[in-house]
Structure 1
């Protein structure tokens, strides 16, 4: 489909009277996800060929979203290049990977935090889909993982990143890490920004009760860099992709807000407090303590 609306889905608190229905729906959705995941996992174990396995996972993801009452609308899928590219998407929920698996062509693999490789059954499923696991906390191992991802990208693989690296309960876009954009710059391929809407409502971060809701995946125009160096191209691609996603997402810029807060905090710490000003005379001497304040 090629139509959609900019903005966020309403997150008004549900009526308490609907709580039993929400719990019943959540139990149904979780059981549905478990059954389909186990079925897909068995199919992935016995199915030869990476693209065939990804097609199988795509069918399973689409079945889950449809049966769970989460209609998926993909806006402008024709913008995805036929050739190699790097897709970057905002990250709002644990459902994001399922949604992109359902929405994107099966030639795409995902870059995922290494902790997910240790999840029982889930790690096996992700490995059978050709996912790239990247270490976030060990710098040396992370560098080794990044070089492997780059080699695969240079070799022609198309990859999906969540450049925020994590998500928070409150709506908004976090800062982007540079890994996805360094990979694209060194592989010489375009970056395709993708906007996810509705997944935060469908499964709130930190929550355990999914909700039926419409989910949108909007593919934005591919981005290339005119920079002459890989480092400059990395920064340019990151900034352009983030600006494009932020414009269409309709959520706050959490990185700008945190940067402003840090700047204000730094400015405040650089100025003497009212208490210090009150205690300090024109020559810098300490004024006598006021009544009710301790001496010394």
Structure 2
């Protein structure tokens, strides 16, 4: 029954909130904190989470400094990761796989609120998407990326793609490593089943990108990986594999799926 209620709520709120932001975009409504483009996604996420019986707890909220853009690098194991981050993060854009933009209404609404599509199979197009994201970040907008790419089946971290770290260096803003726990229990990959519970979002100490060059993208990736792995180990006693010593030098990107 909980899954049915959550599903119906998703359909209803996607239609209402999606239509709202699409109309606002067509009318030329200005973006910014407190605008409909900022509030409607929160209403959408809050409603679905409430219908699912899922409560989100934010830890490390002091890392959110008003007026200072960041890149949030998060683990990814469930669709509910997206809902949790939409609810707690200020003025942001997601980088998401281009296929999602083909979904009727949802895709148009995602574009209206600033979600950035990325062609994961097209390296050149992927990096063009990151260049677009870098421009938005320098203009003051936060961006969320999932460097593991697709959703996993456990909280142990998987190898990171390099695209998000190329983006961070190009934008010149700090990365906030972010770990999410509880979303596998709420809605694991491969099923529609929804289970009530608590999702914890931890914003860890930022990693600076100041003065870094493109050639240092792997070192940056390693620093973020190790900080997230240490967070999982310290908070939840969960171990991740060591950071891979051999990785693709310029793998394109990490989009939510």
Could you state the TM-score of these two structures normalised by the residue count of structure 2?
0.83
User: Which of the residues 77, 82, 96 maps onto 1:92?
Assistant: 77
Bigger radius of gyration, 1 or 2?
1
For the 8 Å contact 1:74–1:218, the answer to whether it is kept is yes
Q: 1:248 to 1:125 in 2, by over 3 A?
A: same
2: CA distance between counterparts of 1:93 and 1:200?
6
Match of 1:43 in 2: 20
Quote the offset at 1:26 in angstroms: 1.0
Q: Distance in 1 between matches of 2:138 and 2:212?
A: 18
For 1:243 and 1:155, locate their aligned partners in 2 and report how far apart those are by CA, in whole Å.
29
2:160 counterpart of 1:176:
yes
Q: 1:196 aligns with which of 162, 166, 180?
A: 180
How many angstroms apart in 2 are the aligned matches of 1:130 and 1:216?
A: 25
Q: Segments of 4+ in structure 1 off by > 6 A?
A: none
Separation in structure 2 between the aligned mates of residue 132 and residue 123 of structure 1, nearest angstrom: 11
Secondary structure of 2:190's counterpart equals: coil
Asked if 1:145 corresponds to 2:129, the answer is yes
Q: CA deviation at 1:112?
A: 0.8
1:226 to 1:36, Cα distance in 2 relative to 1, 3 A: closer
Partner residue in 2 for 1:240? 223
When structure 1 is superposed on structure 2, of 209-218 and 74-83 the one drifting more is 74-83
Secondary structure at the counterpart of residue 161 of structure 2 = coil
The alpha carbon displacement at 1:208 in A equals: 1.3
Following superposition, the deviation at residue 197 of structure 1 comes to 0.8
Partners of 1:102 and 1:184 lie apart in 2 by 23
Note the C-alpha offset of 1:225: 4.1
Change (3 A) 1:50 1:244: same
Aligned length: 234
Deviation string 1:94-128 (CA, Å, 9 cap, x unpaired) is 121111100111x1111111111112222112101
Deviation at 1:241, TM superposition (A): 1.2
| Superposed displacement of residue 162, structure 1 | 0.7
Partner of residue 281, structure 1:
none
5+ residue gaps, structure 2, are 247-257
Change (3 A) 1:86 1:171: closer
Residue 255 of structure 1: how far off its partner (Å)? 6.7
1:14-25 alignment runs, 5 A limit: 24-25=1-2
Higher relative contact order (CA 8 A, sep 6+): 2
CA distance in 2, matches of 1:90, 1:255: 15
> Do 2:3 and 2:52's aligned partners in 1 also have CA atoms closer than 8 Å?
no
SS in 2 for 1:95: helix
| Other structure's SS at 2:93 match | strand
For the aligned residue pairs, the C-alpha RMSD in angstroms reads: 2.1
1:220 CA displacement = 0.8
Q: Aligned pair in 2 of structure 1 residues 182, 35: CA closer, same or farther (>3 Å)?
A: same
Cα offset, 1:29, TM superposition: 1.4
1:161-186 Cα offsets, whole Å, 9 max, x none, are: 11111122244211111222211112
For normalisation by structure 1, the TM-score amounts to 0.73
Give how far 1:224 is off: 0.8
Residue 108 of structure 2: aligned partner: 124
